[in-house]
Structure formats: structure tokens, C-alpha cells
């Protein structure tokens, strides 16, 4: 699917269908933003045929970036995408005023949508949450996707409250990345015609599409964008066997990325836990660094550097990731580029 840049729009929402990698944020050795590395990553994903790009998500280390670093990340991504695919920008600030400012900044830079969460230290009543997102939708002037990710927010709501949010707060999309994404997508499947539904775990994509999902917004697919696009498009073409076979082939890289705790979960036979949704990455699970490492050994000019106090990928995980990428044919067994 390389060099295919046809963007599939979800009818009525203005949001794309398909595979949307949530990109990591590359850093130089001194901790500064590596915008050249980000530009190369964008080009790599677009040439692989992805349907859109997302930046400043949880796996983009948005919580560790300075506020003034957001604009360069957005501008670099939009400029390098050059209109070939839409760019969705993450906003996860507790302040309505700050969220509006970031949303307007994203719109002015050329973003096509906002992936939003509300990480509040306080227990907020639903009317306050509704007012926050309504204001953001009006003032930013871009389609909103509600990001239900435990990595970004501990705000909880009932199914009825989430439905009310989607129906009345200006949302055009929903990303499910909590403990029961398929269960939650099924609950909201009746809204699929007017709300673009996305799953956060790429390995659940065929099942999510069965419930009317528009696609996946996921960090892990940045490691194998072309294969993920093939998986999605096989489903769209009605080839469910190929789609599910590819899902099975791509799934084993998850334990390599998410560390020993997740690997132990799988080894105990609790596959149903994994199928219900990947665990929230914890500080001692260097997922962000692991994804960057995997991209680097594929030849992209990206180091596994992360912002402190996040840990970097360890030797055991490097070996596991390398082995998985060799298995998938993404790197050779002897000509792997070494990334320091």
C-alpha cells in the first residue's frame, strides 16, 4: 500500500477512516526536540499509505513537553504531511482556557481535528465537563475526538454520561482505549453513522470494524504502518481471513514493547485480559523509548531518547523488539542499524 494517499472520510464527521499512527516525539541527545527526525518519521508513515497522523498523544510524551514545544511539533507534522493526509492533534490540558489556545493554534497550523482528554485532579460534575468541551469545540473550530484513555485521564463517567457528551458537546469522534474497548464500542455502535469510532489497540481492529468503527488511532502501528494499512484495507475489501491473519502476525510485538509485566500476563494464559485492552503503560515500562528504538533500527534517524523521568528501553527489550521486527521482515537479521 506504499505511496497510497487516498484519505477515507467518515461520512458526516469530517474525520478520516483507517489507520492513524499516534506518533512518538523524537529527541536529540541533549533532550531538545528532534524536528528533523519527526519530519522523517512523518514522511515514512505517509509513504506507507496511512490514512492520517496523530501527534501530541500520550505516547508522544505530551505530558513531558514544554507548552512552547507543542507548536513546532504540530507545524513540522503538518508541513511534512503537505496535505497528503490529515493531521489530528492531541489536547490533554485541565484548563479550558489553555485547551482553547492550543486548539486554535492547531487549527491555524493546518490540523484537521483534535484528540481531546480532560486530565483533572478534581472530581468534576458532568455539566462542567460538558461546558469545557462545548467551549473547545466552538472556539477551536475543529472536529473533536474524545480520547478515553487511562493513560491521559482518570475522569470516569457512566455509559449514559459518555453518550450525553458525544451527543451534546460537539464531538465527532470517540477513541476507546480503556479496559473494555470492544464492549464500549459496541455500546456506542448505534452512533457510528454520526460519530467516528476508533479503537486504541490495533490488534482489536477487525472486531472493532465489526461494530462500525472507523479505524484505529494507535502508537504501535507506527512500527509497521504498511502492514496495518493492508490489514485495514483487506477488511474493507471483504477479505476477513487475510485481515485476521495479519492481526495474528502483528500481535506478538506487543509484549516486547510493553515489558515483563505484560509478558507475564500472557504467559499465565490470560489472553482474554489482553483482548479486553492493553494495560496502561507505567513509568517502569519504557514503551515510548521501545517504539522509538524499533523505528530507529528500521533505519529512521530517531534515537530511543525520552524525557526524564521516563526510562529508556533496556537490553532485554531491545533484543525482543529486534527479534520481532526480523520475524515480520521489517529488518534483516544481520544488517540492523545500531542506535545508541
Domains and CATH numbers, the chain: 8-327 (3.20.20.70)
> Of the candidates 85, 68, 67, 69, which has an alpha carbon nearest to the alpha carbon of residue 25?
69
pLDDT attached to residue 119: 74
Q: What is the pTM of this model?
A: 0.90
Q: Is 216 helix (H, G, I), strand (E, B) or coil?
A: strand
pLDDT attached to residue 277: 47
315 CB-side CA count, 13 A: 0
> Of the candidates 46, 128, 58, which has an alpha carbon nearest to the alpha carbon of residue 87?
46
> Of the candidates 153, 197, 204, which has an alpha carbon nearest to the alpha carbon of residue 174?
197
pLDDT attached to residue 145: 97
pLDDT attached to residue 177: 86
Q: Contact, 92 vs 60, CB < 8 A? A: no
pLDDT attached to residue 257: 86
State the cell numbers at 30.
541533549
Residues 6+ apart with CB under 8 A from 127: none
* Burial environment of residue 308 by CB neighbours within 10 A (0 to 12, 13 to 18, 19 or more): exposed
Per-residue pLDDT of the chain (340 residues; tens, 9 = 90+): 455 556 667 657 789 999 999 999 999 999 999 999 999 999 999 999 999 999 999 899 999 999 999 999 999 999 999 999 999 999 999 899 999 999 999 999 999 999 999 877 677 888 999 999 999 999 999 999 999 886 666 667 788 888 998 998 889 999 998 778 898 899 999 999 899 999 999 999 999 999 999 999 999 999 999 999 999 999 999 999 999 999 999 988 988 887 655 545 444 433 444 444 444 444 346 899 999 999 999 999 999 999 999 999 999 889 999 999 999 999 997 644 433 3
Q: Contact, 324 vs 252, CB < 8 A? A: yes
Amino acid at each position: 500500500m506504499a505511496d497510497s494517499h487516498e484519505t477515507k472520510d467518515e461520512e458526516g464527521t469530517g474525520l478520516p477512516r483507517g489507520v492513524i499512527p499516534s506518533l512518538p516525539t523524537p529527541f536529540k541527545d541533549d533532550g531538545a526536540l528532534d524536528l528533523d527526525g519527526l519530519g522523517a518519521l512523518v514522511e515514512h508513515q505517509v509513504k506507507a499509505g496511512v490514512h492520517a497522523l496523530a501527534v501530541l498523544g500520550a505516547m508522544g510524551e505530551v505530558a513531558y513537553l514544554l507548552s512552547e514545544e507543542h507548536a513546532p511539533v504540530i507545524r513540522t507534522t503538518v508541513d511534512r504531511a503537505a496535505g497528503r493526509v490529515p493531521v489530528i492533534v492531541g489536547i490533554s490540558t485541565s484548563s479550558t482556557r489553555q485547551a482553547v489556545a492550543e486548539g486554535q493554534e492547531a487549527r491555524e497550523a493546518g490540523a484537521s481535528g483534535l484528540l481531546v482528554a480532560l486530565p483533572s485532579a478534581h472530581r468534576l460534575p458532568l455539566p462542567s465537563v460538558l461546558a469545557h468541551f462545548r467551549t473547545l469545540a466552538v472556539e477551536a473550530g475543529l472536529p473533536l475526538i474524545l480520547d478515553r484513555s487511562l493513560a491521559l485521564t482518570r475522569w470516569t463517567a457512566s455509559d449514559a454520561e459518555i453518550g450525553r457528551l458525544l451527543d451534546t458537546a460537539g464531538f465527532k469522534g470517540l477513541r476507546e482505549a480503556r479496559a473494555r474497548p470492544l464492549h464500549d464500542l459496541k455500546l456506542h455502535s448505534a452512533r457510528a453513522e454520526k460519530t467516528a469510532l476508533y479503537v486504541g489497540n490495533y490488534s482489536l481492529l477487525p472486531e472493532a470494524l465489526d461494530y462500525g468503527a472507523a479505524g484505529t488511532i494507535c502508537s504501535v502501528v507506527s512500527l509497521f504502518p504498511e502492514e496495518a494499512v493492508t490489514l485495514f484495507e483487506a477488511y474493507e475489501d471483504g477479505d476477513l481471513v487475510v485481515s485476521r491473519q495479519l492481526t495474528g502476525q502483528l500481535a506478538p510485538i506487543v509484549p516486547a514493547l510493553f515489558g515483563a509485566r505484560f509478558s507475564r500476563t500472557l504467559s499465565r494464559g490470560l489472553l482474554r485480559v489482553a483482548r479486553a485492552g492493553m494495560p496502561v503503560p507505567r513509568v517502569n515500562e519504557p514503551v515510548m523509548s521501545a517504539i522509538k528504538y524499533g523505528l530507529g533500527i528500521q533505519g529512521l534517524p530517531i534515537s530511543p531518547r525520552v524525557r526524564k523521568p521516563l526510562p529508556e528501553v533496556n537490553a532485554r527489550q531491545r533484543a525482543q523488539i529486534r527479534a520481532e521486527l526480523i520475524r515480520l521482515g521489517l529488518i534483516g537479521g544481520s544488517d540492523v542499524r545500531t542506535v545508541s
